[in-house]
Amino acid sequence: MDVALYLPDSGYYERHVEFGRSGDFLTSPETHPAFGALLAQFALLMWRALGSPRPFHVIEYGAGAGSLCRQFVEAAPHLDTQFAEALCYEIVERSAFLRALQQAKLIDLTGRVTWLHPDAEPEPARGCVIANEVVDALPVHRLRQTDAGLVEIYVSVKGENYVESEGPLSRPELATYLHEESIEPPTGSVVEICLAAREWLTDAGRRLDRGYCVTIDFGGDASALYRSATPRGGLKCFHQHGWTDDPFDRPGLLDITAPVDFTNLKRVGAEMGLALMSETSQGQLLLQLGLPAALDRMESSNLPAEQVHRNRTGIAMLADPCGLGAFRVLVQKHNAPDCALEPAPAAGDWLRLLPADVVEWPQ
């Protein structure tokens, strides 16, 4: 999975990935720019809870095409000018291809957005970490539950084809984790365990002296994920908004994802001093932050009726409980107080929080 996604010049994220309706998948920032504006409102509340520090670092992992970054940075001045002046937006991007793409697309934000080298020693800062659909693309171990216990599924080569083979577990902690959670998957089922999530969250946590870590992704608690596992497992590979569960189908040309185990993230966070602040759905979070106001502003705008309909549809999709709205939002904190959720002031003009080209969304 790691090779198929990140091998230099050949991995999916290293040569041709496209986001949005013309690409292979649609993330929240590509669904509607209100997503970034609402997260900026969330960060504003965190900034105030921390005592309005200067600078306030927002560190985004895996920024894709840079859409969330642009939406966030452009919304900030409309929410609070002092917040915008304190904002220091930083991106941690492993893919050299995507990093170059982001720098080209965000060139007009030079000086307001910087890139941090993934392998550089982090300097703890006050602010928040944002990871939107990052953890689901971290490489996983695949295990099968047999009558004799767990075996690991390995990738082998037979002739010119990749095939699966089974053998003993490569890491003892794979079995230890399920045992400590008192979970035994159904016999014959396949489960994915992401040990790389520990490394990622450890890195993210080390970047915070005081602040918050916001993880947005699809998945669930360990009990729900593993006790309901099926023989097909949870791995999915995306291409042109369709998907397959065959990771050997055109490796390097498909995005590969696996459901995120949020129990693991909470457990690792607790071990390293990241306390749980909240856990909710994306839909519920955005509703609390003011998504209904965005819908109302669109309805009362002077945009043509067709554009109003398109924008309302896009905004509503962000909170759809059968789609993006079902994603989980885990907020962990380090040396920081809780921050109450509240929408942007009623007097705020939601249309001004969105990029000027919102009236063209979507084509």
Dihedral sign for Cα atoms in the order 165, 166, 168, 173: positive
**Over the chain (363 residues), what is each successive 10-residue block's mean pLDDT?**
93 79 76 92 96 98 95 92 97 95 95 94 95 97 96 94 94 92 95 96 96 98 95 89 84 92 97 96 95 81 81 92 97 96 60 49 43
Residue 238's contacts (CB-CB under 8 Å, 6 or more residues apart) are 24, 25, 254, 255, 257
Q: Where are the domains of the chain?
A: 11-137+197-221+257-360
DSSP string, 112-176: TEEEE-TTSPP--EEEEEEEES-GGGS--EEEEEETTEEEEEEEEEETTEEEEEEES-S-THHHH
Residue 31's contacts (CB-CB under 8 Å, 6 or more residues apart) are 314, 317, 318, 324
Predicted local distance difference test score (pLDDT) of residue 346: 47
Q: Which CATH number, 3.40.50.12710, 3.40.50.10950, 1.10.3110.10, 3.30.530.20, labels domain 11-137+197-221+257-360?
A: 3.40.50.12710
CB-CB neighbours of 312 under 10 Å: 16
First-last CA distance in the chain: 33
Distance of CA 246 to the CA centre of its chain: 23
Predicted local distance difference test score (pLDDT) of residue 352: 53
Nearest to 88 by CA among 131, 54, 44: 54
Q: State how far the Cα of 324 lies from the Cα of 320, in Å rounded to an integer.
A: 6
Predicted local distance difference test score (pLDDT) of residue 26: 81
Assign 88 to helix, strand or coil. strand
